[in-house]
Amino acid sequence: MNRAIAPAAVLALSAATLAQSGPISLSFDEPARDRWNYPFAATPGVRTESPIFGATGLEGFDDRDSQFVIGFDTAGDIPTGLGAGAYRVISARVTLVVQNDLQFAYDATQDELASYFLSDDPDYVEDTTVGRPIELYATGYRNGFTIDTWEETSVFGGPPIVAPAEGARNAFAAFYAGVDDVVDLSRQVRERIESTPLAIGQTTGVAVGELVPVETVFTFDVDTCAPGAKAFFDASFDAGKVNLTITSMHSAELGSTEFPSFFTKENALSPILGYAPQLEITVIAVDDADLTGDGSLDIFDFLAFQNAFDAGDPLADFDGNCTLDIFDFLAFQNAFDAG
């Protein structure tokens, strides 16, 4: 891992852990964990590529049947144990590299949930775009597993709702209604759960609707204001780990291979060419008012806040409501006064 810390950041002691003053920017060249999260994966945690596809309407299998979990360790860089509401993500970007060649079409937008229903369903809506999007979600856990105990080589799942594997997985694409209120989205279509992903995969190397060649780079810029995003990141940084799940509902029925597959950290090309999953993230812990990161609070922090506010930078969203207004000035003032 290459940690690119904000240039002006200096180390300061925190009651919870060793932390930095000001915004904390981290850059991970590869994950600590990545897993092809599929019920029939013979090599969980060590496979060299991870396909993602769906099995919508297929009894015994999740709608989001083949998922890709990637995990990064933030403890030691971002203070842990501060509790819900203590963390504010300014920006986060995940980068993945496509491993298969010309197997799926690029779709840059979210599709309506009803477009995945069976065509004879009265609520069915036709998808007018070519392909299906690649979506980034939070990760949830069950069967006694938690973010602290789940690893890339952990057993896939417990007893299924419907054999052989429906509703069984121990780690799953999730929506965080709260830090302790996590919704499994693996069976999203049959349960008709509306949700917004943290990000939709984007690329500049291919036009929308065209087939995607091998080695195409996809980026996922997290919408930090997406429903559930704050609760997820609060739980993650509190534990010192960020586990994300990449999924799609490209069909794999009848032996189709028209779905995405991505390089993992175990692929021999990943360390040579930088093809492993990557994460860049900037976080403020406990609304730190030291925006210059020089270890002191002074007029320059006010100027940095003003510049960020004028530029529409999320850095200035000190009350965390995803809107820049007078209340952010008051929240910054309170953080400054509190030291």
In 3-state terms the chain splits into helix, strand, coil percentages (rounded to 5) of 15, 30, 55
Q: What are phi and psi of 74, to 5 degrees?
A: -110, -10
User: Residue 237: what pLDDT?
Assistant: 97
Domain ranges (residues) in the chain: 11-285, 299-337
Q: Which two tokens stand for residue 256?
A: 């189709």
Residue in the block written with tokens 């349960």: 191
- How far apart (Å, rounded) are the C-alpha atoms in residues 21 and 12? 6
Q: Of 273, 197, 279, 243, whose CA–CA distance to 68 is shortest?
A: 243
- How far apart (Å, rounded) are the C-alpha atoms in residues 119 and 117? 6
Residue 219 CA to its chain's centroid (Å): 11
Find residue 217's DSSP bridge partners: 97
- How far apart (Å, rounded) are the C-alpha atoms in residues 36 and 233? 22
Q: Rounded to whole angstroms, what are the CA distances from 177 to 127, 232, 317?
A: 28, 9, 21
Find residue 27's DSSP bridge partners: 280
- For residue 68, how many other CB atoms are within 10 A of its CB? 28
Q: Of 96, 69, 44, whose CA–CA distance to 171 is shortest?
A: 69
- How far apart (Å, rounded) are the C-alpha atoms in residues 138 and 101? 27
pTM: 0.91
The count of C-alpha atoms lying within 13 angstroms of the C-alpha of 45, restricted to the half-sphere facing its C-beta, is 11
**Does an H or E element contain 94, and which?**
strand 87-97
User: Residue 180: what pLDDT?
Assistant: 87
- How far apart (Å, rounded) are the C-alpha atoms in residues 223 and 25? 17
* pLDDT tens for each residue of the chain, 339 residues long: 443 333 333 223 233 333 456 899 999 999 999 999 999 999 989 999 999 999 998 999 999 999 999 999 999 999 999 998 899 999 999 999 999 999 999 999 999 999 999 999 999 999 999 999 999 999 999 999 999 999 999 999 999 999 999 999 999 999 999 888 999 999 999 999 999 999 999 999 999 999 999 999 999 999 999 999 999 999 999 999 999 999 999 998 877 899 999 999 999 999 999 999 999 999 999 888 999 988 899 999 999 999 999 999 999 999 989 999 999 999 999 999 988
